[in-house]
């Protein structure tokens, strides 16, 4: 046996062992990486997707399932290679800004059946490019920041929420990639337009932003008219008060007794004339 054959015979088992350890590490993530109350599993490759041979084909990310775990907030220790995150049927009330930053493989996020009430501008910051499906249905969302969905390319599900339909919601839905489908599922629990309450968002073809602008213009007009009326009333009151004071002063002067003219004063007047 040549030295090369001897070296290969000794190195090959070691290489196979290392490859097996790498595959195990990729396929079975450490329990310490998985948030408490969640189950983490390596995503299975799509049969139609060609990723090539070797361990590189296994970098598909994790499926992190936290369904029904009584979570009250989004876990802060999510694995960075999370691809599918299921947080449905919990008690999550808020989605903080940058809650999913660092999850560069995240393509599916399920937040349905929670108690989320509102969404801020940066709620999905960092996952705009990769996220494909975002489920926010069956929550308590009444309003969102107008730019909450602006950069998202995902299909967003927002039905079964007590929406307040106003200009901000109209701007938020307009910023979605699939805004028509999302808007068609929005039912207005309350609205700036009374006839829209209890109806679907698209049922009434009204520009709520222009409606809000007109309402503001009317309010300003009414306020200006009120101030103008107050000024006019004050001027009228001031003039009338001065007239009354002048009349009283004149009556006072008339009521004063006239001073009698003495004979000497009459002679002096005649002399002067």
If 0-12 CB within 10 Å is exposed, 13-18 middle and 19+ buried, where does residue 179 land? middle
Q: Which residue positions in the chain have pLDDT lower than 50?
A: 8, 15-18, 20-28, 30-31, 49-58, 217, 266, 269, 272-273
Cβ atoms of 128 and 152 closer than 8 Å = yes
pTM of the model: 0.64
pLDDT for the residue 189: 92
pLDDT for the residue 221: 59
pLDDT for the residue 263: 60
Cβ atoms of 204 and 217 closer than 8 Å = no
Which tokens in the block code for residue 105?
Answer: 């493989």
pLDDT for the residue 56: 42
């Amino acid at each position: 046996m040549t030295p090369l054959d001897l070296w290969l015979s000794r190195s090959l088992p070691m290489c196979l062992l290392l490859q097996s350890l790498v595959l195990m590490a990729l396929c079975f993530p450490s329990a310490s990486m998985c948030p408490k109350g969640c189950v983490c599993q390596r995503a299975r490759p799509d049969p139609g997707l060609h990723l090539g041979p070797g361990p590189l084909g296994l970098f598909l990310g994790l499926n992190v399932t936290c369904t029904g775990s009584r979570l009250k907030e989004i876990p802060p220790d999510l694995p960075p290679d999370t691809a599918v995150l299921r947080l449905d049927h919990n008690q999550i009330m808020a989605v903080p800004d940058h809650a999913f930053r660092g999850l560069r493989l995240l393509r599916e996020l399920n937040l349905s059946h929670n108690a989320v009430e509102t969404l801020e501008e940066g709620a999905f910051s960092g996952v705009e490019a990769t996220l494909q499906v975002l489920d926010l249905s069956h929550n308590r969302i009444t309003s969102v920041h107008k730019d909450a969905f602006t950069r998202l390319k995902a299909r967003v599900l927002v039905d079964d929420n007590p929406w307040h339909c106003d200009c901000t919601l109209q701007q938020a839905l307009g910023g979605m990639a699939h805004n028509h489908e999302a808007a068609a599922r929005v039912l207005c629990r309350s609205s700036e337009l009374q006839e829209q309450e209890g109806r679907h968002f698209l049922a009434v073809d009204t520009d709520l932003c222009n409606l809000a602008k007109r309402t503001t213009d009317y309010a300003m007009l009414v306020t200006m008219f009120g101030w103008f009326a107050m000024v006019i009333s004050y001027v009228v009151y001031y003039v009338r008060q001065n007239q009354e004071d002048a009349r009283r002063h004149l009556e006072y002067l008339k009521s004063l007794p006239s001073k009698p003219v003495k004979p000497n004063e009459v002679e002096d007047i005649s002399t002067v004339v």
